[in-house]
Amino acid sequence: MLELKLDRVSRHYKQKIAVDRLEFTFGKGIYGLLGANGAGKTTLLRMMVGVLKPTSGEILCDGQEIGKMAGEYRRKLGYLPQDLGYYPNFTVWRYLEYLAELKAVPPELAVERIEKLLQFTGLAKSGKEKIKTLSGGMIRRMGIAQSLLNDPEILILDEPTSGLDPRERIRFRNMISALGRDRMVLLSSHIVSDIEYIADEILIMKGGKITESGNLQKILKTVEGNVWECVKEPEQAELLNQQFTVSNLKNTEDGKVVLRIVSDTQPVEGAVRIPPNLEDVYLYGTREKSFGPRV
Amino acid sequence: MKEKIILEEIQIDRQRKQQILRNIGKAVEEKRYVYCPSLWEIFRGQLKYISRFCLGGQLLCLFLTVVLLGYFQWVEEGMLTYLGTASVAASGMGIFLMIELSRSSAIGMMELEQSCYLNFKQVWCVKMILFGFLDILLLTVMVAVIAGNTSCGMFRALVYLLVPFLLSNAVQLLVFTMLRGRKGEYLQAGAAAVCGAASLIPLSSPRWYTLTYFGLWIVALAAAILWLIREISLIYRRLEEGEILCWN
């Protein structure tokens, strides 16, 4: 059994509430966390990792408070922070070796595991290179490698695909899918398609709260009937773009514009309902208040 | 002979045997190998990763001070020369530990280290013990040499050196909690230089090192201890809360 339970977890920064009495239970599988900047994603992940202490509430791992479990909880963890820290003068190998020691990876297994992970992340030839000479994408991959050093039961990844090119992103998505079979993976991302492809369960955060959660089908159902499509002249399309939340806008060959609009009501005569996608749900879930014309 | 006959009579279900072996193999694979490094392994491991500049600097400081004190013995210098040099060394030697500690904060490693089995606070403790050991060694050498070569006794020499040492460490911790980023290291070096210069102030008049004023030194020592305790508890609280660990 592996269960991580948020029990009315809150975190305040002076007057600002970053995470507001969250309640959720995570089990094995891949969870995708979506939310705008400042929605509280990173704060939530930091609390789950034990870096930040909740202002109130508890985080329980298999029924035990994670703060009290201390090292025994951290032993289960793999974490990739949004801004990966590293010692620029360390080589990739030395960096991984250092973190393997901190993660209490048995010395007799550490070398083999580092080799495997360097292979896995495509950094096999860069082991002897100093980190300061690596590109952003390579550093991100090194971050992914370090998060897997201790073969963690709980893997928490904050914006793992930022800085990766499309090929690396796809490779990484496949990697996460494989890892999620027998552990708990929680990842936050701005890239909706990444979450859509790999997450078993999606959580949408806004204002420190989880506004929607469930699998893709369940999440999509929440906005069914609220996504519209219409074809308009460019001038009218521009007006609609200002009035409504347009999730996509595409020019056609005959000089017209196809608009995809998220709205509670029919935005314009002739607009037809279409099936929603996760981007629509994201826009709907992070809306200000009502989702009609923006005045 | 009898046993052999019995073994030969046992029927082995090969399929079932394979299944059981597979189950055992799977159970072994699933079993997590829990490794707890010993204290010695932790210290040895950390020693490998401490910056050579910091450890080398601390050792060089120790070496130079010993050489200098030896030279003073040779040329038979007076008490003020001993105390002045030792005070500057005492107030300056904390800088190497602080630079080492602030290394992880300057490049965002604290957050990552805090999520590991041996977390940031534990790594800090190990480094503080390692550098603290060198500090104590240097203080002991200096106190012994001063007591042996001047009219100043062991206890008085210890008090005279502990005041700049503790005050300088408190200032370093204050600077650490106030500032973050690359420039923090330079400011810390600057703070150490200021503390070193300030430790020379009592040399302006030899009477500060007479027994008449020793009571003032004791008060200063008590104040320095309280300040240092306050700074340590403040930084501990902030580390517990976690905000200081996060880069943004």
Nearest to B49 among A50, A98, A103 (CB): A98
Contact assessment for residue A85 and residue B112, using Cβ atoms and an 8 Å cutoff: yes
- Tell me which residue of B153, B150, B154 sits closest to B139, measured CA to CA: B154
pLDDT tens-digit readout, A65-82? 999 999 999 999 999 999
Alpha carbon of B21: minimum distance to chain A alpha carbons (Å): 22
Quote the pLDDT of residue A295.
41
Quote the pLDDT of residue B19.
93
Contacts of A41 in chain B (CB under 8 A): none
Q: Tell me what percent of the residues of chain A surpass a pLDDT of 90.
A: 54
Asked if the C-beta of B40 comes within 8 angstroms of chain A's C-beta atoms, the answer is no
Asked if the C-beta of A146 comes within 8 angstroms of chain B's C-beta atoms, the answer is yes
- Contact call for A104 and B104, based on CB within 8 A: no
Asked if the C-beta of A104 comes within 8 angstroms of chain B's C-beta atoms, the answer is yes
Contact assessment for residue B103 and residue B49, using Cβ atoms and an 8 Å cutoff: no
Quote the pLDDT of residue A294.
52
Best mutation target among B54, B117, B119 (most A Cβ atoms within 10 Å) is B117
pLDDT tens-digit readout, A127-178? 999 999 998 889 988 999 999 999 999 999 998 888 788 888 888 888 888 8
Task: Check if the interface score ipTM surpasses 0.90.
Answer: no
Contacts of A37 in chain B (CB under 8 A): none
A254 has pLDDT over 80:
yes
Q: Return per-residue pLDDT of chain B as tens, 248 residues.
A: 555 666 667 778 888 999 999 999 888 877 767 788 899 999 998 888 998 888 898 899 889 988 998 898 888 888 888 888 899 999 888 888 888 888 877 778 889 999 999 998 899 899 999 999 999 999 999 999 998 888 888 999 999 999 999 999 999 888 888 776 666 677 888 888 888 888 888 888 888 888 888 899 999 999 999 999 999 999 888 888 888 888 66
Asked if the C-beta of B104 comes within 8 angstroms of chain A's C-beta atoms, the answer is yes
Contact assessment for residue B159 and residue B208, using Cβ atoms and an 8 Å cutoff: no
Contacts of A103 in chain B (CB under 8 A): 116-118
Contacts of B119 in chain A (CB under 8 A): 71, 74, 102
pLDDT tens-digit readout, A205-223? 988 999 889 998 898 888 8
The whole-chain average pLDDT of chain A stands at 89
Neighbours of A288 (CB within 10 A): 8
Question: Identity (one letter) of the amino acid at B113?
Answer: E
Residues in Cβ contact with A290 at an 8 Å cutoff, skipping those fewer than 6 apart: A264
| A125 pLDDT tier (thresholds 50, 70, 90) | very high
Alpha carbon of B119: minimum distance to chain A alpha carbons (Å): 7
pLDDT tens-digit readout, A7-40? 999 999 888 899 999 999 999 999 999 988 888 9
Quote the pLDDT of residue A115.
95
- Contact call for A74 and B245, based on CB within 8 A: no
Determine the Cα–Cα distance for residues B112 and A74; give it in Å rounded to an integer: 11
Quickly list H helices, chain A: 41-49, 66-69, 71-74, 92-102, 107-120, 136-147, 166-179, 192-198, 216-221, 234-243, 278-285
Question: Identity (one letter) of the amino acid at B227?
Answer: W
Nearest to B111 among A81, A99, A109 (CB): A81
Quote the pLDDT of residue B211.
81
Quote the pLDDT of residue B190.
86
A290 has pLDDT over 60:
no
Helix (H) or strand (E) holding A13: strand A4-13
Better-scored residue on pLDDT, A56 or B106: A56
Where are the domains positioned within chain B?
49-247
Asked if the C-beta of A53 comes within 8 angstroms of chain B's C-beta atoms, the answer is yes
Determine the Cα–Cα distance for residues A150 and A102; give it in Å rounded to an integer: 10
Cross-strand pairs, A250: A258
Helix (H) or strand (E) holding B56: helix B52-75
Quote the pLDDT of residue B6.
67
Neighbours of B218 (CB within 10 A): 12
Alpha carbon of B132: minimum distance to chain A alpha carbons (Å): 21
- Contact call for B116 and A103, based on CB within 8 A: yes
